[in-house]
Homo-oligomer: A and B are copies of this chain.
Amino acid sequence: MSQHLGFIGLGNMGSPMASNLIKAGYRLSVYNRSADKARALVEAGAHQVNTPGEVAEAGGIVITMLANDEAVKSVTLGQNGILDRLGPGGIHISMSTISPALSREMVALHQQHQCTYIAAPVFGRPEAAAAHKLWVCVAGETAAKERVHPVLEALGQGLFDYGAEPEKANIVKICGNFMIAAAMETMGEALALAEKNGISRTEMIDMFGQTLFACAIYQNYGKMIAERSFTPVGFQMQLALKDINLVLDKAEESRAPMPFASLLHDRFLRGVANGQGEADWASLTNLISDDAGIQK
């Protein structure tokens, strides 16, 4: 019989990931706060349960892919939480973008239940998740990492190991999100200048995407930003604001000033304050055009 996995969090990212695990031959129990999001997975063979804890088999593996710290805490702790059911030998693979602080806290809580907590946050938008082209940053106990290796391989195209402390993988993840946001702001500023001087946004960003910046972030986000094409929403601005806050909180604790991050924070906060919290984070570049008085 095929191996069992618990999976919690069936949003934009979680759904295609869970789907890939089924395709890879795993037997899935799934939970989502809004139950109707599970429909397609159930049709594909997943078993839907009513509380987070029920996804776990004793000593098994549970994956969580959720929006923020609160959501992870809520499904992990308490009476119907994962820890209540996972039991000795169990592994919790936390793939959400959460605070390093929560990761550290989770390590201790899982040890108390003789389970292991592994952080395995991912890079990639929903379409990358569907194409199992995610990049996975993993950190945690060696033995547990070995055991879950095939599971992570089924989700991504590459795996990077940051050692024994889960929070390090979370720090790398939030650094990456910061770097993507900074690349977007950078492109947005350059494109506003180009546009105001009669240079085609698309032509200029295409050139950079073929030459100096021939990489996924500049090519994919470059196209979105040049064309101001921000739907469907891949990653919400309010989540980007959350992530920049995770960066700034860690930077504060680490005594490491990050002025670009501060500036991006103010951009995202402005977007959210102006009703754009659910828009794609790349639309922060609309604010740059606004400031330049460009009629879009």
Give the distance in Å from the alpha carbon of A182 to the alpha carbon of B291 in the complex. 19
Give the distance in Å from the alpha carbon of A189 to the alpha carbon of B176 in the complex. 11
Chain B residues positioned under 8 Å from A189 (CB to CB)? 178, 256, 258-261
Give the distance in Å from the alpha carbon of A256 to the alpha carbon of B194 in the complex. 10
Within 8 Å of chain B (Cβ to Cβ): is A208? yes
Please provide the 10 A-B residue pairs with the shortest distance between their CB atoms, ordered closest to farther: A215-B215, A255-B273, A273-B293, A262-B262, A196-B254, A256-B292, A182-B186, A257-B266, A175-B190, A270-B291
Picked from B160, B194, B254, B274, the residue with its CB within 8 Å of the CB of A207 is B160
Within 8 Å of chain B (Cβ to Cβ): is A230? no
Chain A residues engaging chain B, CB cutoff 8 angstroms: 100, 123, 135, 137, 158, 160, 162, 167-168, 171-172, 175-176, 178-180, 182-183, 185-187, 189-190, 192-194, 196-199, 203-204, 207-208, 210-218, 245, 247, 250-252, 254-263, 265-267, 269-270, 272-275, 288, 290-293
**Chain B nearest CB: distance from A209 CB in Å?**
9
Most buried by B among A213, A269, A275: A269
Look across to chain B and name the residue whose beta carbon is closest to the beta carbon of A274.
B293
**Chain B nearest CB: distance from A165 CB in Å?**
8
Look across to chain B and name the residue whose beta carbon is closest to the beta carbon of A219.
B215
* Count of this chain's copies in the oligomeric assembly: 4
Contact A254 B186 (CB under 8 A): no
Chain B residues positioned under 8 Å from A261 (CB to CB)? 189
**What DSSP secondary structure best describes chain A's contact surface?**
helix
Give the distance in Å from the alpha carbon of A270 to the alpha carbon of B252 in the complex. 10
Contact A171 B197 (CB under 8 A): yes
Contact B269 A211 (CB under 8 A): no
Interchain Cβ contacts under 8 Å between A and B, 18 examples = A158-B210, A171-B193, A172-B194, A172-B204, A175-B194, A179-B208, A182-B182, A183-B183, A185-B260, A186-B186, A189-B256, A193-B256, A212-B216, A213-B217, A245-B252, A255-B273, A263-B263, A270-B291
Chain B residues positioned under 8 Å from A190 (CB to CB)? 175-176, 178-179
Look across to chain B and name the residue whose beta carbon is closest to the beta carbon of A181.
B186
Chain B residues positioned under 8 Å from A175 (CB to CB)? 190, 193-194, 204
Give the distance in Å from the alpha carbon of A192 to the alpha carbon of B251 in the complex. 9
Most buried by B among A100, A207, A267, A290: A207
